[in-house]
Amino acid sequence: MKITLRPIQPGDEPFLSALYASTREDELALTGWNQAQIAEFLATQFMAQHRYYLEHLPPSEFNVIEGDGQPIGRLYVGDWEEDVRLIDIALLPEQRNQGIGTRLIRDVMDRAAALGKPVRLHVEQHNPARRLYDRLGFQAIEDRGVNVFMEWRE
């Protein structure tokens, strides 16, 4: 599969919203809410996160990940003053555990190394992606309750 990145566009919001929802399915299955309640919650949370990222983060790249020209995920990265920030990476469920995320994160790591900066990210304590970050050499540098702040240095 040929993996490419392209900047997000306003027409991508339905895909990005569905992608966001796919990352929260397991967590929300435990709430006991009906499908309408879950859908409303997810739509609200996605829009809040999406707007926050676009309006409040330092200059960053917000990209759709495409596989053979079809959207399969998102990769949000910031080249900030002190670090390269992996803001968010998410793939559709059927694209996970195939090495795509690893390849893209390694690209971010290479970019940071070329700039002489660390890569930093936040990950939820029990997110399965935490194992990937550990394997790639990220170290926990601060426990922030629900999240862990992690860093990779060359």
pTM of structure: 0.93
- Residue 154 covered by a domain: no
- The enclosing H or E element of 73 equals strand 70-79
- Residue 123 covered by a domain: no
How far is 154 from 146, CA to CA, in rounded Å? 27
- Residue 58 covered by a domain: yes
- Residues with Cβ within 8 Å of 68's Cβ and at least 6 positions away in sequence, in order, are 1, 2
* Identity of the residue numbered 116: G
Report the pLDDT value the prediction gives residue 92, as an integer from 0 to 100: 97
The torsion defined by the Cα of 24, 54, 51 and 86, in degrees rounded to 10, comes to 20
Residue 54 structural domain: 3-114
C-alpha 62 chain-centroid distance: 10
Give how many domains the chain has, as a whole number: 1
Strands 70-79, 139-144: pairing kind: unpaired
- Residue 153 covered by a domain: no
Query: What is the band of 12 on the pLDDT scale with cuts at 50, 70, 90?
Result: very high
pLDDT at 28 over 90: no
- Residue 132 covered by a domain: no
- Residue 122 covered by a domain: no
We report the CATH number of the domain holding residue 15 as 3.40.630.30
- Residue 78 covered by a domain: yes
* Identity of the residue numbered 74: R
pLDDT single digits (tens) 75-103: 999 999 999 999 999 999 999 999 999 99
